[in-house]
């Protein structure tokens, strides 16, 4: 395996004839994103070095479960199918999983709405599942808003598309408006 630094925050990992691109972005608001795209969906976590982030041990397990489910089921099912398979895989790893957890949204002290998080793992990571051709900005913003509405700082956006994709988002407590 060979790693190449393309610019400050993007690495290209070459292994045989397949490739993996890992992108890491940090904004001034402490919003951190780690995303990965791989041209061959039969990949393993060995290619990803994601051990230096908040709850990285937990997010690594979730991503392993994601890749295992993707490698087994492939592309084309509804999100609910992937959600159910993820719950089975994560509980087999002895993780506490809440699915379709209701989260209230407040404007100051007034409840103005709610949403349902696809999965909440160990009350530390929100997982938003997609079964789209590819991820788009709206998917990312949805996850960011979910993080803003909770005390949970880490979120994963997992896409069971034509190629598996994931994005890791962090919204730090120190930037929350009190």
So what's the pLDDT on residue 106? 87
Residue 17 domain flag: no
Indicate the pTM of the whole model: 0.72
Token pair in block for residue 140: 């990312």
Q: Which domain holds residue 75?
A: 46-175
HSE of 35 in the Cβ direction (CA atoms, 13 Å)? Answer: 17
Residue 34 domain flag: no
pLDDT tens for the chain, 178 residues long, are 444 444 434 344 433 344 444 444 433 333 344 555 544 544 444 444 444 578 889 999 999 999 999 999 999 999 999 999 999 999 999 999 999 999 898 888 899 999 999 999 999 999 999 999 988 999 999 999 999 888 899 999 999 999 899 999 888 766 566 5
Residue 116 domain flag: yes
- The domain tally of the chain equals 1
Q: Enumerate the H helices of the chain as residue ranges.
A: 56-73, 79-92, 137-148
So what's the pLDDT on residue 75? 92
CATH number for position 150 = 3.90.320.10
Residue 165 domain flag: yes
Residue 117 domain flag: yes
């Amino acid at each position: 395996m060979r790693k190449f630094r393309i610019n400050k925050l993007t690495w290209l990992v070459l292994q045989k004839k397949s490739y993996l691109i890992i992108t890491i972005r940090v904004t001034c608001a402490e919003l951190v994103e780690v995303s990965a795209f791989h041209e061959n969906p039969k990949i393993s976590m060995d290619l990803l070095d994601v051990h230096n982030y908040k709850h990285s041990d937990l997010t690594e397990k979730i991503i392993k479960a994601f890749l295992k489910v993707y490698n087994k089921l492939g592309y084309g099912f509804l999100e609910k199918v992937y959600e159910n398979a993820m719950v089975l895989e994560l509980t087999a790893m002895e993780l506490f999983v809440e699915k379709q957890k209701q989260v209230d949204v407040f404007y100051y002290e007034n409840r103005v709405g709610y949403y349902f998080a696809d999965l909440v793992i160990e009350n530390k990571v929100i997982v938003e599942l997609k079964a789209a051709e590819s991820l788009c900005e709206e998917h990312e913003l949805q996850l960011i808003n979910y993080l803003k509405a909770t005390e949970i700082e880490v979120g994963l956006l997992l896409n069971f598309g034509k190629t598996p994709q994931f994005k890791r988002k962090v919204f730090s407590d120190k930037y929350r408006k009190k």
